[in-house]
Structure 1
């Protein structure tokens, strides 16, 4: 079977003028510094926006004016947007991790890392310092893709690097205490994947559709959110978020029925409503000022499939499973 990428090129999603009340974004992550919320997403130099109230947004400048030097050394054919960042405040600095993919849909990709003492672009202290490559995936060598980074610090204070997509799935690896590199690159844990009928190194996209991992601690469990099926087709996308939980960062993550996400399982958590959003995914989750938030992008039906920012409150049922209600 031909992959989707071989059958037809991905559609071009609508790119609309920036709307302060309904901003466009893809793969959003969020942090709050002082009285301001900051959102980062896929785009040239990493897209930024900020808000005081989560309702009205202002477009910021990209994090990078130019590509970090390491990118073209590692990926000479890279010409696209920087993908799917993750942001975390750790030991007095903001750390951002980001992906560059030279051949979209294939593991010709790498993840980098930069830090800044502040997110406020008007502050004299504002400056992102790039620290280079964390990990790279190579065509013909790897059955995972170096995209979609996420960092979780466990109860012992150890940072874990979560990443990957498609084929052999999502990975977890310990980081050094400064988050500058993988601590034990040989100690990899596969935490979720979906079944595939493909031969190794075929790299088709017709099955094994999993990406966008985000691990979040709540109560006694680590919750693994992941996006299943296909993004980036506008109103024809079938992207949706599933969830499982574990007592350990490295799993096993099981869904509500007790089935392991390593076998392609996961409880459906967030799907398109068919009215406002055709599909949604690539989420992140936060506890900020005593309230928990679900952040994602959704393919807007009223806006012809444009990718829009979703921020809504995250709640929990009596059995400790998360749920949301999308605002109409």
Structure 2
């Protein structure tokens, strides 16, 4: 087997972990996405912003233009305003997961203490929607995945939601943690309801699931070990893959993540620098198409909140995610970074063109192109409406290497919309049609 080679670092600026430094000392279980407005948005389990605990929110939101500098947006839910009725008002909110589905931003989250009982820790997974990634958010009014009673005492660990949309448009929800394992249901087309019975896909060794599809494989990434043991935290992200979203998810050695002696191929683990307890990840893609993993970690030199030695701080880290020999691995196997690193490429002269003003930068060759004002229902800004058999081209010359991206809508009455990249002749172009 040839030696593994990591992908070259993209050109751009630089950054240094933790990327939430200067915004918050704690940002566990991060979920990150790029909004239709071009900004990036991050959501985390609730907690303090500073070491003294003087400021905190039950769940946190932040925005960024470059993935490496973050600005506070506050909390999506506030008691007395839009707090979910099925979550007790003294509860925090955990492990949010953010998606864009059918023109809506959809926020999945955990209510660890609910009105299902008076026992405490009877967790359930909720869902809220918004026209904007910054809110305001409207809770669905009832859990998506209700609290589930154990066969014995207590409640199942219905936490850590991760939504996944397949290439055929079908939608799924993965969730679960220690004690009861990782589970899966199929969701309705709007992502707001479950439509199948739950099925277990990974043993109780794992939590914090996240699923992506690549080259025909479904990859289940999940974390294992104690998330919050200060400088001795051993949290690690593992992966298995399957030809079906339902599993079985096998590691590189062919061992299932659902076996009693569970398999799992390491995606990121501590490497000897100050970062330990690296886990509970999400993935975001930069403008070059490079994958980046966001995850929390513990600084072994400064692990605890000052006012409470038992509270482990977990800021958010960002590192390049490579794919080597069919498996995801952070920085080619180098693990979490603690030096100056090449930053993601988050702007593009070609991809960041907007259909605003008088269609500057766009030439209509056939049919009609009408510039429309900001679409508040999708937070997308201005957009182009094509009529007839329309052909429009960008007048900006692309760079040598091109990545094209387009958000398109086909009317319910039918028709098609396509994007052609670097057209030379009928046999020398790249074309995608919806």
1:39 maps to which residue? 42
Q: Which residue number corresponds to residue 276 of structure 1? A: 274
Partners in 2 of 1:21 and 1:156 — Cα distance? Answer: 38
- Contact 2:322 2:329 (C-alpha < 8 Å) held by counterparts: yes
Aligned to 1:52: 65
2:122·2:156 contact (CA, 8 Å) conserved in 1? no
- Cα deviation for residue 107 of structure 1 reads 6.1
Q: Which residue of 2 aligns with 1:312?
A: 319
SS of equivalent to 2:85: helix
Residues 237-280 of structure 1: CA deviation (Å, up to 9, x unaligned):
11111001111110010000011111111112211223221221
Q: Give the secondary structure class of the aligned counterpart of 1:235.
A: helix
- The residue correspondences of 1:179-258 to structure 2 (distance < 5 A) are 179-184=191-196, 187-193=197-203, 208-258=204-254
- Which residue of structure 2 lines up, in the alignment, with residue 151 of structure 1? 163
Superposition deviation, residue 21 in structure 1:
7.1
Question: CA 1:321–1:69 in 2, change beyond 3 Å: closer, same or farther?
Answer: closer
Task: Give the counterpart of 2:128 among 101, 109, 114.
Answer: 114
Q: Distance in 1 between matches of 2:208 and 2:149?
A: 20
Whose Rg is larger? 2
State the secondary structure of the residue aligned to 1:49.
Answer: strand
- Identify if the C-alpha distance between structure 1 residues 36 and 302 changes in structure 2 by more than 3 Å, giving closer, same or farther: farther
* TM-score normalised according to structure 2 size: 0.62
What are the residue-to-residue correspondences of 1:63-78 with 2, within 5 Å? 63-66=76-79, 68-72=83-87
User: Is 1:291 equivalent to 2:290 in the alignment?
Assistant: yes
Residue 169 of structure 1 corresponds to which residue in structure 2? 181
Q: In the alignment, does 2:257 pair up with 1:261?
A: yes
| CA distance in structure 2 between the aligned counterparts of 1:270 and 1:31, rounded to whole angstroms | 20
Structure 1 residue corresponding to 2:139, chosen from 130, 135, 160 = 130
1:190 to 1:129, Cα distance in 2 relative to 1, 3 A:
same
Name 1:198's counterpart in structure 2.
none
Equivalent position of 1:301 in the other structure:
300
Question: 2 CA distance for matches of 1:81 and 1:26?
Answer: 13
Check conservation: 1:46, 1:62, Cα contact below 8 A.
yes
Cα pair 1:159 1:176 within 8 Å, conserved: yes
What CA distance in whole angstroms lies between the structure 1 residues aligned with 2:293 and 2:128? 24
Which of 12, 18, 21 lines up with 1:19 in the alignment?
21
Shift of 1:226: 0.5
Once the 2 structures are TM-superposed, how far is the Cα of residue 79 of structure 1 from its aligned partner? 2.5
Deviation at 1:324, TM superposition (A): 1.0
What SS class does the counterpart of residue 299 from structure 1 fall into? strand
Number of matched pairs: 284
Task: List per-residue Cα deviations over 1:88-121 (Å, max 9, x = no partner).
Answer: 1111111000001129xx96111110011112x4
The corresponding residue for 2:112 is: 101
Moved over 4 A (4+): none
Q: Provide the C-alpha distance between the structure 2 equivalents of 1:118 and 1:299, rounded to a whole number of angstroms.
A: 31
* Separation in 2, partners of 1:249, 1:100: 26
CA contact (8 A) 2:77 2:84 kept: no
Shift of 1:171: 0.7
Residue 161 of structure 1, CA deviation: 0.8
Quick one: which of 63, 71, 74 aligns to 1:61? 74
Q: 8 Å contact 1:314–1:324 — kept in the other structure? A: yes
Partner of 1:30: 32
Distance in 2 of aligned mates of 1:23 and 1:220:
39
Q: Could you tell me how far apart the structure 2 residues matched to 1:69 and 1:24 are?
A: 24
Do 1:23 and 1:57's aligned partners in 2 also have CA atoms closer than 8 Å?
no
| DSSP-derived class of the 2:318 partner | strand
Deviation at 1:308, TM superposition (A): 1.3
Partner of 1:5: none
User: How well do the aligned residues superpose, as a CA RMSD in angstroms?
Assistant: 2.2
Distance 2:137 2:232 in 1: 37
